């Protein structure tokens, strides 16, 4: 199963309204402790290849790396829990600690959480 900071493909269909759909990369942001406990769902942030400059904290740019073949934007405002059966295959890549820190900051901003 996934580890925190990994990017996986996930089948996000069916979608509703403005939700991202289809099979697309997602970044696992759920705590490692919950992942290790075998929780049946995982909290993820979807990625898109439709790039928008200067859109922080709603988007964070991720450069192509590993099996992530195109530069992408993390859709921070589309944070969601998915059933683990939506995950496809194996991880595409792993986010750096610096990127995960930026994601954490952006999620706190979007959810108006105090650190």
CA gap 43, 41 in Å, rounded:
7
CA gap 98, 100 in Å, rounded:
5
List pLDDT tens digits, range 32-91: 999 999 999 999 999 999 999 999 899 999 999 999 999 999 999 999 999 999 999 999
Stated pTM of the model: 0.95
Is 18 or 104 the better-scoring residue by pLDDT? 104
CA gap 81, 114 in Å, rounded:
21
How confident is the model at residue 19, as a pLDDT? Answer: 87
For residue 45, the cross-strand partners are 27
Fold classification of 6-111 is SH3 type barrels. (2.30.30)
3-state secondary structure (DSSP) of residue 11:
strand
Cβ contact 50:78 at 8 Å? no
Q: Where are the domains of the chain?
A: 6-111
């Amino acid at each position: 199963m996934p580890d925190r900071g990994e990017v996986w493909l996930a089948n996000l269909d069916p979608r509703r309204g403005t939700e991202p759909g289809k099979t697309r990369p997602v970044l696992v942001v759920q705590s490692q402790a919950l992942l290790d406990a075998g929780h049946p769902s995982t909290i993820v942030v979807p990625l898109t290849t439709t790039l928008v400059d200067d859109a922080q904290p709603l988007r964070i740019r991720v450069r192509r790396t590993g099996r992530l073949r195109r530069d992408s934007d993390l859709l921070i405002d589309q944070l969601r829990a998915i059933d683990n059966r939506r995950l496809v295959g194996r991880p595409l890549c792993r986010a750096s600690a610096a990127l995960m820190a930026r994601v954490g900051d952006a999620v706190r901003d979007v959810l108006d959480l105090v650190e």
